[in-house]
Homo-oligomer: A and B are copies of this chain.
């Protein structure tokens, strides 16, 4: 459960159901938050936001107590006046029009709750989930695998995921990263924006997670990913490429390796029949180009008049680098949820 608007008092949330007795590092949470922070490099927005997390409950003497963990990140920059000119406008491909239709009222300051600042709450809660699952040997690692038409060649197995944080775009392949950075700079100079793809791999998940039939692991994972701002598509394992494959090629044969059941290939992406099989879970999430641009755009206002939206402010020309920790956060929470839910299915 999260709350908070871009230019309100604060963004925060409540983590309910976190298991008791887990040692929690606030430094690690802050560190994850810094990965999402604007102004990290010249490929993201130059707005400065110092997001500092405060834990309000649920932790005692450094350990979780099983009680809800409330947390808060105050908004430093709440000057809503900068947004007066958007009060009556519907920005194209933003939430302005639809949310006003839905609620009859809209906090227009910086997009209100539809702003990506809401992701802060996800990153904090995800950092808690990461610490819990790390104790069980589970890691979640995402990276930028595509920006515009610059695509990282090969799969996650051919790169060193420890290199992801080495560059501003969070692509573990240095050569591709440079091309991505060049593209983003070019796009920014044009006052435009560009989309991309985040890839993610979850390692160490035990077999048996996922709830047949409506809460298959991949259904919950898709739900989690498609709830992130600006996402357009989700695929796991072989993904859309499976459409062109034959069964004889796509089936993952079982074999025995060091006395353990494993598969020779992993087109299943670690999920069979909606339940994890112990292999790596990997998936891709498509992001659209951010709709905010430094170019004038045709649109309409609340009065039903066609008007021109002039460009203002400072914005990310590409969300990809800063959304990598958000994808990890949502995946970590989702894995922990499924771990806990799976415990409900058995009595011993």
Residue of B nearest to A10 (CB): B56
Whether A105 contacts B21 in the complex (CB less than 8 A), given A113-B67, A232-B240, comes out as yes
Cβ contacts under 8 Å, A344 to chain B: 17, 340-341, 343-344
Cβ contacts under 8 Å, A135 to chain B: 347
Cβ contacts under 8 Å, A225 to chain B: 222
Residue A177 at the chain B interface, CB threshold 8 Å: no
Whether B104 and A346, one on each chain, are in contact in the complex, defined by CB atoms closer than 8 angstroms, is yes
Q: Which of A41-49, A157-165, A299-307 contacts B (4 or more CB under 8 A)?
A: A299-307
CB distance from A319 to the nearest CB of B (A): 11
Cβ contacts under 8 Å, A11 to chain B: 57
Cβ contacts under 8 Å, A305 to chain B: 256
Q: How large is the interface on A (under 10, 10 to 19, 20 to 34, 35 or more residues)?
A: 35 or more
Residue A185 at the chain B interface, CB threshold 8 Å: no
CB distance from A259 to the nearest CB of B (A): 7
Residue of B nearest to A187 (CB): B246
How many copies of this chain sit in the oligomeric assembly?
4
Residue A236 at the chain B interface, CB threshold 8 Å: yes
Residue A154 at the chain B interface, CB threshold 8 Å: no
Cβ contacts under 8 Å, A210 to chain B: 98, 102
Whether B12 and A70, one on each chain, are in contact in the complex, defined by CB atoms closer than 8 angstroms, is yes
CB distance from A286 to the nearest CB of B (A): 4
Q: Give bound CA distance, A333 to B323, whole Å.
A: 31
B-contact 0/1 string along A105-145, CB 8 Å cutoff: 11100001110001000000000000010011000000000
Residues of A within 8 A of B (CB): 1-5, 8-14, 16-17, 19-22, 54-58, 60, 63-70, 72, 90, 92-99, 101-107, 112-114, 118, 132, 135-136, 146-149, 187, 190, 192-197, 207-210, 212-216, 218-227, 231-240, 242-256, 259, 261, 263, 267-268, 271-278, 286-293, 295, 297-300, 304-306, 339-347
Q: List 7 A-B contacts (CB under 8 A).
A: A3-B69, A17-B344, A90-B261, A93-B272, A250-B289, A254-B298, A343-B343
